Amino acid sequence: MRKTLIAAALTAAFFVPALGHAQATPAAEPASPHTLTGNVTLASEYIYRGIAQTNRKPAIQGGFDYAHSSGVYLGTWASSISWLSDQGSLYPGTPGVSANMEWDFYGGYKGAFGGDFSYDVGLLQYYYPGRYPTGFVSPDTLEVYAGLGWKMLTLKYSHSTSNLFGFANSKGSGYLDLSGTFELAAGLNVVAHVGHQKVKNFSDASYTDWKLGITKDALGVTWGLAYVGTNAKGGAGQPYRNVFDKDLGKDALVLTVAKTF
């Protein structure tokens, strides 16, 4: 009996302090409802909705995004461009256009329902800071958008509440976009897209665009290679022919290197 009591006392001596230590460990901090991320991209050229924005030259891009667990989000993103300043020769004897950046601001609300479905609604302001000659239609554009997702597919519609990218009397233009991301393996995806841009009161500027590409996570960055094309009118004297006699909607291969932090 004496040996049993000694053994019990020794057991208590070892385990009671340990139990007390375990009880003293503070509870884990709850996850923050706030998320802030940044991104930077180098691209062989900037193509938006199938149309070249940098005259077939490289672009640098980047932005920041804030998201709340409730579904509310805000963000800003910018890219180098040349499509506006390229038009300077159209206005001889004037200071011309000196806008070399696209700066976007957006915010909205997103959520999920039914397991495989998601939705996203918001506003997007395209802002092009710079100098413009008298009479130049501002390229600044405000769009309201709504998207519906199902598994790897997303259908989105964007509607302009202002003139669209400098087209006069184009308020009410719309862009319908169907996109998909298909995972082949961890960090390896195929991306596909088809969209249609309608420019109100300017049918020759309306067109369809498409993209097929692949992305791969490697060396701490995401590599992308995509084939993009359109049926946009880019012949001589048509809307998407620039002053350097280039078809801005011509098919192209685009290489990107992106980092998210």
Phi-psi group of 245: left, alpha or beta (phi > 0 → left; psi -120 to 50 → alpha; rest → beta): left
Q: What are phi and psi of 23, to 5 degrees?
A: -70, -25
pLDDT at 42 > cutoff 90: yes
Mean pLDDT of 21-26: 56
Mean pLDDT of 64-88: 95
Which helix (H) or strand (E) segment holds residue 254: the answer is strand 252-260
Partnered with residue 185 across adjacent β-strands are 188
Which helix (H) or strand (E) segment holds residue 182: the answer is strand 174-185
User: Which position has the token pair 């804030």?
Assistant: 66
User: Which position has the token pair 């998909």?
Assistant: 180
pLDDT recorded at residue 134:
85
pLDDT recorded at residue 133:
87
pLDDT digits (tens, 9 = 90+) for 201-224: 999 999 999 999 999 999 999 999
Burial environment of residue 146 by CB neighbours within 10 A (0 to 12, 13 to 18, 19 or more): middle
pLDDT at 24 > cutoff 80: no
Query: DSSP labels for 65-130?
Result: EEEETTSEEEEEEEEE--TTGGGGGGSTTS------EEEEEEEEEEEEETTTEEEEEEEEEEE--S
Q: What distance in Å separates the CA atoms of residue 199 and residue 184, rounded to the nearest whole number?
A: 36
Greater model confidence, 50 or 21: 50
pLDDT digits (tens, 9 = 90+) for 111-169: 999 999 999 999 999 999 999 988 889 999 999 999 999 999 999 999 999 999 999 99
pLDDT recorded at residue 184:
97
pLDDT at 12 > cutoff 60: no
pLDDT at 23 > cutoff 80: no
Ordered structural domains, the chain, with CATH: 36-260 (2.40.160.40)
Q: How far is CA 60 from the centre of its chain?
A: 14
pLDDT recorded at residue 13:
41
The rounded mean pLDDT for the chain is: 90
Q: Is 60 helix (H, G, I), strand (E, B) or coil?
A: strand
pLDDT recorded at residue 3:
42
pLDDT digits (tens, 9 = 90+) for 85-94: 987 655 555 5
pLDDT digits (tens, 9 = 90+) for 106-126: 999 999 999 999 999 999 999
